[in-house]
Structures are given as C-alpha cells and as structure tokens.
Amino acid sequence: SQSLRFLPSHEGVPATGCFEEMREMREQPIDPQAEQEIINSIQEVYYSNDSFDMVQHELEKLPPELNLQELEEYRDKLKRQQAAVSKKVADLILEKQPSYVKELERVTSLQTNLQLAAVICTNARRQLSISKEDFTEASLGLLANQRRRHLLTGLLKSLRTIKTLVTVQVTLFLFLVCVSVLTFKHYSCISELNSKLQDTLEQIEEQLDVALSKTCKHFDVSHYTRVQLAYTLLEKTQTAMDQLHMHFTQAIHNTVFQVVLGYVELCAGNADTKFQKMQYKDLCTHITQDSYVPCLSDLCKALWEVMLSYHRTMQWHEEQDKEETGSNIMTEEAAVDHSYVKKKLEHGLTRIWQEVQLKVKAYLLGTDMSNFKYDDFIVVLDVISRLMQVGEEFCGSKSELLQESIKRQSVNYFKNYHRTRLEELRMFLENETWELCPVKSNFNIAQLHEFKFMGQSRSPSVSPSRQVLSSQDQVLSSQDQEVLSLFQHFSQEGNPFERHIDNKDEETEDVLASNGYESDELEKCVYQDYDSDSDVPDELKQDYVDEQTGDVPLKSASRETLRSRKKSDYSLNKGSNAPILTNTTLNVIRLVGKYIQMMNILKPIAFDVIHCVSQLFDYYLYAVYTFFGRNDMYESSGPGLISSRLRTTLNRIQESLIQMSLGEGSASVHGGPGEDRKEKVPSPHLSQLVVLTASETLYGLAQRVVATESLVFLAEQFEFLQSHLDTMMPAAKKPFLQQFYSQTVSTASELRKPIYWVVAAKALDYEQMLLLMAGVKWDIREIMSQHNVYVDVLLKEFEEFNKRLGDVSRHVRVPLPVSNVLWEHCIRLANRTLVEGYGNVKKCSNEGRALMQLDFQQFLMKLEKLTDMRPIPDKDFVETYIKAYYLTENDMEQFIKNHREYSMKQLANLVNVCLGSHINKKARQKLLAAIDDIDRPKR
C-alpha cells in the first residue's frame, strides 16, 4: 500500500511525513483481537512469494455476473485487511526505529575505517615491491648460481673418476715403478713414501673389487677387460678369481632377496620395515597367490642375468686363452694363472647353479600351490621347466633340487586338482540332459585350445621353451634355432623367461557350429523331416555351407538321393557326419588336454597324470553304463550282452573309483574315511529331466544314442592320443597304459549291446505275439497256403519300430552301427519269441510244422525289405528248431547234446510233441533224461 512506502532522507533518517502517517495509524483505536482476526482471515496465497500478482488473482476470482453491492462489500473487506496489515507493519517499524538509527551510525563508522585500511594496504604493498626488487631477487640469483656451481663441481669429480679409470693402466704402471724404488728404505723420505703407497695400494684394490662386483649382473666386455688388466698388473689374477665367485654368490642372494622383498612389500601395502630384516626363506612365505607367478618370472629373469654374466665371463677367458696360446708369448707364470682361472671357473659353474637352485627351491616350497588356478600353475611349471633347461645348458645339471621341489608341489596340486575335477565331472553328468552338442563336421581335438601343443610337431621329450621363440627372434632358420642354446640366442638381448607371457596361444577357431548351416531359418529346419521342408528355399536345402570359405559344395544331395540311401543309415544331416558328443564330452576332452599339458611340462609325475586321465574315462564310461545299460531284468535275458572283458572293467571301476553308499556294496563296510576313500567319487545319478520310459521316444533312444556314441567318440580321441601318452610314460609303467587301452578304452563300443538291448526289449510287444501264437491250431491235416495272422502283426510291429526310429533320427543322427545293433536285437528277440511260441505247442502234425516254416519264411521275406541286415540274425535258430521235429530218436539225442542254446523247456516240448508220431514212450523217457543231464550242471 502507499502508506508503507517511505524513503530515507539524506541524513539517513526516514521522512517525517511517513512516520507521522504511521503514528496516525497506530493512534486509531482498534481492538487487538479483532485486528488479529482480520489478519488471520487473509488468504495463504498472499504470503506465497514476491512475484505473486494479487490484482490478477482477485480479478480471476470475480464471478461471471458482477453485483455492485457484493463488490463493494468485498472491497471494504480487503481495505480492512490492508489497514490491519499496514497498522501491524507500522507498529513493527516504529518499535525497531532506535535500533535502526544506531545500526546506521555503526555502518557509517565502519565505512570510514575501511577507507583508512585501504590507504594503509596500498602503502604496504608499494614498500614490499621495493623490498623484493632490492633484496629477494638479488639473493635468489646468488643462491641459484651457488647451486649450479655445486652441480658442476660434482660433475667435474665424476669426470675425473672416469679419466682415472681410463688411465688406470698408466697409473698402475707408475705405481709399480714407485714400488720398485722402495728398496731404498734407509732414507727417511722413502720410508714415508712406502707407507703412503701401501695405503694407496689398498684403496686401488678396494676400487677394483667394486668394479669387479659390477660385472656380476651386467657383463660389459670393455669394463671387464680393463679390470682384469689391472689385476694382472698387480699380479693378483688368482685373487681376483676368488673374489669374483664370492661376488657372484652375493649377487644371487641380493638379487633374489630384493625381487621377493619388492613384491612382499607391494602386496603388504604399508611401509613396515619388518620384511627387510627377515631371512629369505621366511620372506618367501609372505608371497600372495596373485603375485606368485609375476614374482617367479622376475626372479628367474634376474637370475638369468647373473648366470648369463658368468657365462660371458667364461667366454671372455676362453677367448683370451686362445689369443695368448696362439701368439706363443705366454710365460710359465701366466700359464699357471690361466690354468687356475679355468679350473676355478669350471668348478664355479656347479656352485653358482646350486645356489640358484636353492634360492628357487625356497621360493617354490614357500607357498602352498594346491589351490592355484590351472593356468597359473601351468605357467609355474613352464617357467621351472625353462629354468631346468638353463641349468642343463649352464653346467649339464639335471637340477635334482628343482625337480624334487616341483614334483612335491605338482603331486600335491594335481591330487587336489584332479579330485575337484572328478567332482565337477560328477556334477556335469548328473545335470547332463544328453542333448546333442552341435559341432562342425570336420571337428577334431587339435582345434581345441588345450591341444594346440599337439600341432607344434615337436618331440614330447623336449621342453616347450626350446621351440617357442617370438617373431622378433626368428631371424634364423628353424633348423638353426634348434641348434642354438639359450645362452647363444639371448647372449646380447632378450630374456628366455619373458616367453611364457608373450607366447599366448592364438585364439582357437570356434568348434561349435549350427550343424554346418549359416542361416537361422535353416537351423530350425535341420531337425525337421526331409519330406516336410516345402517352405524352405531351395538354396537352403543344400547340404551345408563351408564355414571357412562360404562356398557351397559342387554337388548337393537331392531329396531322391537322400531317400535312396540305406534305410538303416539313420542320420540327422545326410550331408554331414558331425561327431555325436555332448557338452560333458567336450569338457572331458578339454580336461584331458590340460592334464597332458601338465604332463608334457613335468615328466616326473607323468604316471600320476595318466592314471588320473584314465579315471576320467573310467568315470564317464561307468556313468553311461549306470544311466542307460544297467537293467537287471533285460541284462539277464540277453545272452552275451556284456562281454566278460566289459564286466571285468566295470567291476574294476566300481571297486577302485566309485564310493558306494551304505547298502550298495561290501566296499562300504571296509571303506572308512581313509586315503583310499578320499580318492573315490560317489556314483552318479541320471538327471530327472531325462525320461527313458516313454514309448513314443523309443524309451529315450535319442538320449541313449547321444550318451553311447559320445562315449565311443571319446574312446576314439583316446586312441588318437595313445602314441603321445606312450612316449610320456616311464618304461616301468607302460604296461599300465597298454592294459588301460586294451581292457577299458576298447570296450566303449561294447556298451552299445546292453544299452540298446533295453530299447529293443520294449520296442515290440513280444508278449502279444506269444498270445496270438497260442491260439493257432498246429495239428492240421492239410498243407496251408496262407500264413498266420501273428506274422502280419509282428511285421506291423517292426514297421512301427522302423517309423519311430526314423522319427528319432530327425533329432539325433543315428549312426549305422547303432541302427544295426538295434535291428539285430529286435530280430533276435523276435526269433526267440517265435521259438518260445513254437515250444509252447501241445500238439503238432507234419502239416503244422510246414505251416511254421511257411510263417517263418513269410516273416523273413517281409523283414528283408525293412532292413539291410544280411544275414538275418538267429535265422538258423528258428529253422533248426522247426526242422528238429523230423529227427529220428538217435538224431534227436545227438541234437539235444549239441544244441544247448535252447532252453530245457523248449527241448522237452520238442520231445513231447514228437511222441506218438515217430518217438515211442521209451525213447521219450530216454530223451528227457538226456535233457535233464544237460541241465543238471547249471543247477
């Protein structure tokens, strides 16, 4: 409101009129409670912010139809609110007026003081500027010149030292001349000179000793030549050699201590000096797992520099011997020195290497490596293997200390590693759904990262470092590289212990494939029937596209060609014979590759590794048999399903590797928690996701095929690796490897019989056949031209089996050996069912036997159209039984003795049916007694 707007006068006091107006407001009589109620009635929105437009607000509140009386009343209300607020504000301002006047006076006084302070600061800065120019810059200039002079003085001193070193020959010569003058000791001046020269001699020897010690880490020919010349002039060549060996020993100790100390302090992460006071052996125990490999690598690099310096020292002396021997100017005294130096250096080789071994051994045994990552441990083995190669070239040593140390760590590591891998394998097998793992048709294990070493065409007995050289080092032919030793190859630059970092195997190609197809759309069609691919473009119906070149094969198998193939060759990809394997198979193969890598690098534990490799295969074989082949009901009825060799193998695996739970075997009674029990693994259990009871899927035939054929594929890979493993195996242990291959690996394909027998035994309804055959009348009196209905029913069962087998083949390629085994089992069971049915006949005539032959011939004729198997299995088994009806008494007796493949019941039935036609009761008793004699040994 206008009543609140007042302006300050020039004197800083509010205008008189404003205050008078305020007083008038205050003097107006009003009830304080009423005034507060008026203020409280003001809307909250008026207090919101300074930008609030109260006029706009009030206008927006106006109703659509205006009423003058209401507007005037509302205006009076607003005026009363304004007057109340104005009065309230005026009261507050007048109450604070004395404070306002007082504060204004303080502000005026402060302003005056600030102006005075500004003048004082300006004067002070001007005085400081003058002081800086007159004193500071001049003084700093003097200090800078003094510092430069000090540095130049130090440089001059260094230059004089270098000059002294260059002229050491002249200095020493003059010194020796002076020594020769010392014979005149009766002169007092000469006596004093003698004392000073002796002090100088000691200083010279100390400086030479320091210079000699520098050659232990970085050998420099010119430096070492001058030092040796100085010792020769002093006639202390032998002393120099003694000192040199002491320096090398000290250099080894200092080097390894500093390397390990650096890593320990780095990992400790604090400035604690307790590590510097530790013994080297104790210090090694503080290395962490993450820093172990880098520290070992740096340790070996540093030791290599020391050994290389020693090697080059020996080379220098050998060259000197050749030069002096060739010039024929060597004195007898010089010859003695050279002989001493030569023997000392040769003896020092073994001492130096022994010292190196002790230091590395302490480092190796200072850490428990049993929980290291596989790749880290392989690097450790490779580095130590390379170090042992260095030792062999350095002094012909077999590095017994290193071998014993790394063997201890390796056995400890490998037992722990293998135990974990076996447990992982059990987990894989128990979660395996036995689905096909698609790989390229040309897949082989050499494509896997773990088997890259196989393709380097080298003898397994040679250390990896001999062949592996970086591209920057390949300036010589491969033939020359094999001849060059490490000391020759890295004499000037490089370090052989950098190879394990640089030599990373290049990325392996992707062995997984979408069954050879590039198109996602076609990938979906791979598993479809060849007759139901009308919606697939023609170009996608070709066999496959080459993954490497992208080219399509020149000839693509047409649909007719596919159909015309052997019906028994059930395959998923008619143009591809990709291996059948699972993810678990691939994991086992990779694991075998890792094991062989470890064995390649470390020969002493070769047998332990191969033994563990065999356990991987044993466990996989046992799991496949347990999951799919162990069925007592059918196993007992299948003659010869499991060979004695396979049964022996399975029993051996169960006894040596499988940890039986209580009640599963007698092993648990004697087992206990001993070491033997620790090496055993619980028997695996088939995943609940695998259903083997559905007739639509032929009782899990697809899973059975994948499991069994993946085992066969695994056995083939083991066969491929046999020659390599044989070269690694110690001679005394070779029989173990041979037995493993002959008794275990070669039995893998034999599991097909028991596994597929379970399918064959359920695939056809053999019980229905017996019921149908029981209803046939066989004692007929006329020759029949029409076969019986049970033959058609049986053939229909075979046709249904053939169809289901084809359905399975759309999901998993069914190899020819598998389909052959399945057909053989089904046919054998069918033929045995026929013999069982014929053996149940109570009465039969000659015409009835002829009808049996007619039925069987009809069965054979139609069956041969369904399968390519020739000859039909157990064909003679049925025909021989039918024809035995016509045998005479004597021939029948001989038949009973010779044909023990028939059951006692079948033979007895044969005799009983013949009774009355051409065998009498007496003969019957005799023949039944013969049958009883045959059966007695079985009871």
Cα 431 from Cα 844, distance rounded (Å): 56
Measuring CA to CA, which residue among 649, 659, 595, 591 is closest to residue 624?
A: 649
pLDDT at 460: 38
List pLDDT tens digits, range 313-322: 888 888 877 7
Q: Which residue has the tokens 């039909």?
A: 872
Task: Choose the final residue of a domain: 341, 362, 387.
Answer: 387
Q: What are phi and psi of 539, to 5 degrees?
A: -65, -20
Q: How far, in Å, CA of 937 to CA of 939, rounded?
A: 5
- Collapsing DSSP states into helix, strand and coil, what is residue 248? helix
Compute the CA torsion angle 247, 252, 253, 255 (nearest 10 deg): 110
**DSSP label at residue 875:** H
Query: Does residue 145 carry a pLDDT above 50?
Result: yes
Whether the pLDDT of residue 552 is over 80: the answer is no
At 244, is the secondary structure helix, strand, or coil? helix
Q: What is the pLDDT of residue 360?
A: 92
Q: According to DSSP H, which parts of 478-529 are helical?
A: 478-483, 486-489, 499-502, 520-525
Whether the Cβ atoms of residue 737 and residue 725 lie closer than 8 Å to each other: yes
Q: Is residue 836 part of a domain?
A: yes
The total number of structural domains in the chain stands at 2
Is 346 among the domain residues? Answer: yes
648 occurs within a structural domain: no
CA 335 → CA 321, 325, 339, 658, distances in Å?
9, 9, 6, 72
**Rounded to whole angstroms, how far apart are CA atoms 899 and 672?**
49
Phi, psi torsion values for 240, nearest 5 degrees: -60, -40
The pLDDT value recorded for residue 478 is: 40
- Residue range 453-471: mean pLDDT, rounded: 45
CA dist 369 and 385 (Å) reads: 17
Q: Predicted confidence band at 575 (pLDDT cuts at 50, 70, 90)?
A: very low
pLDDT band at 330 (very low <50, low <70, confident <90, very high): low
> pLDDT-based confidence at 844, cuts 50/70/90?
confident
pLDDT at 148 over 60: yes
Q: How far apart are CA 795 and CA 777, in angstroms?
A: 21
> Is the residue at 217 inside a domain?
yes
Give 676's pLDDT tier (boundaries 50, 70, 90). Answer: low
Give the pLDDT confidence score for residue 343 in this predicted structure: 84
pLDDT value at residue 591: 93
Instruction: Evaluate if residue 910 carries a pLDDT over 90.
Output: no
Please answer whether residues 275 and 268 qualify as being in contact, where contact means their C-beta atoms are separated by less than 8 angstroms. yes
Average of per-residue pLDDT values in the chain: 77
All residues at 6 or more sequence positions from 734 whose CB lies less than 8 Å from its CB, including other chains: 726
pLDDT for 49: 76
Show the 3-state SS of 381-408.
Answer: HHHHHHHHHHHHHHHCCCCHHHHHHHHH
Per residue in 239-279, pLDDT tens?
Answer: 778 888 888 888 889 998 989 988 888 877 765 667 777 88
CA distance 713 to 573: 18
Give the pLDDT of residue 570.
53
Q: Is the pLDDT at 207 greater than 70, yes or no? A: yes
Distance between CA atoms of residues 239 and 122, nearest Å? 78
Average pLDDT over residues 502-522: 43
Residue 461 lies in a domain: no
Question: What is the tens place of the pLDDT at every residue in 156-187?
Answer: 987 886 676 555 545 555 555 555 555 555 55
Task: Look at residue 512 and give its three-state secondary structure.
Answer: strand
pLDDT at 827: 94
Coil, helix or strand for 287?
Answer: coil
Q: Is 771 exposed, middle or buried (0-12, 13-18, 19+ CB in 10 A)?
A: exposed
Neighbours of 787 (CB within 10 A): 18
Q: Summarize the confidence of residues 588-592 as an average pLDDT.
A: 94
Range of the domain at 273: 200-325+333-387
Position 87 scores a pLDDT of 85
Query: What pLDDT, on a 0 to 100 scale, did the predictor assign at position 800?
Result: 93
Task: Collapse the DSSP code of 8 into the 3-class scheme (helix H, G, I; strand E, B; otherwise coil) and give the result.
Answer: strand
The tally of CA atoms less than 13 A away on the side-chain side of residue 526 is: 24
Q: Which residues contact 552 (CB under 8 A, 6 or more apart)?
A: 542, 545, 546
Q: Count the Cβ atoms, other than its own, within 10 Å of residue 514.
A: 16
Task: Please list, in sequence order, all residues whose beta carbon lies within 8 angstroms of the beta carbon of residue 355, skipping any fewer than 6 positions away.
Answer: 249, 252, 253
Q: Are 602 and 410 in contact (CB under 8 A)?
A: yes
pLDDT over 60 (residue 238)? yes
pLDDT tier for residue 447 given thresholds of 50, 70 and 90? confident
Question: Which of 670, 672, 676, 674 has the alpha carbon at shortest distance from 656?
Answer: 676
Residue 829 in domain: yes
Are residues 684 and 426 in contact, defined by beta-carbon separation less than 8 angstroms?
A: yes
- DSSP assigned state of 551: P
pLDDT of residue 664: 52
Position 448 scores a pLDDT of 87
In a domain, 59, yes or no: no
- Residues near 597 by Cβ (< 8 Å), separated by ≥ 6? 378, 450, 453
What is the dihedral sign for C-alpha 645, 647, 650, 651? negative
DSSP state of 751: G
Question: Longest Cα pair distance anywhere in the chain, in angstroms?
Answer: 162
Answer whether residue 512 shows pLDDT above 80. no
Is the pLDDT at 865 greater than 70? The verdict is yes
Please write the tens of the pLDDT for every residue from 35-51: 888 888 887 778 777 77
Average confidence (pLDDT) over 373-379: 86
DSSP string, 607-676: HHHHHHHHHHHHHHHHHHIIIII--HHHHTTSTTSS-HHHHHHHHHHHHHTEEPPTTT-THHHHHTTSHH
For the segment 550-567, the average pLDDT, to the nearest whole number, is 40
CA 855 to CA 862: how far, in whole Å? 11
The answer to whether residue 712 scores a pLDDT higher than 90 is: yes
Q: Both tokens of residue 33?
A: 């409670």
Report residue 356 as tokens.
């190196």
Helices (H), 269-288: 280-284
Q: Which helix (H) or strand (E) holds 681?
A: strand 681-682
Cα–Cα distance, 75 to 68 (Å, whole number): 10
- Angle (CA) 820-826-829 rounded to 5° is 135
Whole-angstrom distance, CA of residue 382 vs CA of residue 398: 16
* The pLDDT of residue 842 is above 80: yes
Reading the block at residue 418, the tokens are: 């293998």
**Average of per-residue pLDDT across 490-502:** 67
Residue 542 near residue 467 (C-beta atoms within 8 A): no
Chain segment 7-21, per-residue pLDDT in tens = 344 444 444 454 555
pLDDT for the residue numbered 853: 93
pLDDT at 204: 81
Q: Is 682 helix (H, G, I), strand (E, B) or coil?
A: strand
* Amino acid (one-letter) located at 122: T
Dist CA 809 CA 705 (whole Å): 10
pLDDT-derived band of residue 631, with 50, 70 and 90 as boundaries?
Answer: low
| Tens-place pLDDT, residues 390-445 | 988 888 888 888 888 888 888 888 888 899 999 999 999 999 999 988 888 888 88
* Neighbouring C-alpha atoms within 13 Å toward the C-beta of 877: 21
Structure tokens at 707: 């499991």
Backbone φ and ψ for 931, nearest 5 degrees, come out as -65, -40
Q: What is the mean pLDDT of residues 903-907?
A: 89
Q: How many CB atoms lie within 10 A of CB 88?
A: 15
Q: 515 in a domain, yes or no?
A: no
pLDDT band at 191 (very low <50, low <70, confident <90, very high): low
Please check whether residue 813 is in contact with residue 580, taking contact to mean a CB–CB distance below 8 angstroms.
yes
- Which residues are CB-neighbours of 756 under 8 A, at least 6 positions away? 704, 708, 818, 821, 822, 825
Q: What percent of the chain has pLDDT over 90?
A: 24
Q: How many residues does the chain have?
A: 939
Q: Residue 590: its pLDDT value, please?
A: 93
For 777, which DSSP code?
A: -
Q: How far apart are CA 255 and CA 278, in angstroms?
A: 15
Where a domain ends, among 345, 362, 387? 387
Question: Is residue 54 very low, low, confident or very high in pLDDT (cuts 50, 70, 90)?
Answer: confident
Look at residue 699 and tell me whether its pLDDT is greater than 70: yes
Give the integer Cα–Cα distance in Å for 205 and 225. Answer: 16
Q: Distance between CA atoms of 274 and 897, rounded to whole angstroms? A: 92
Q: How many CB atoms lie within 10 A of CB 764?
A: 20
b/e burial code for range 27-53 (CB count within 10 A of at least 16 → b): eeeeeeeebeebeeeeeeeeeeeeeee
Residue 781, pLDDT score? 86
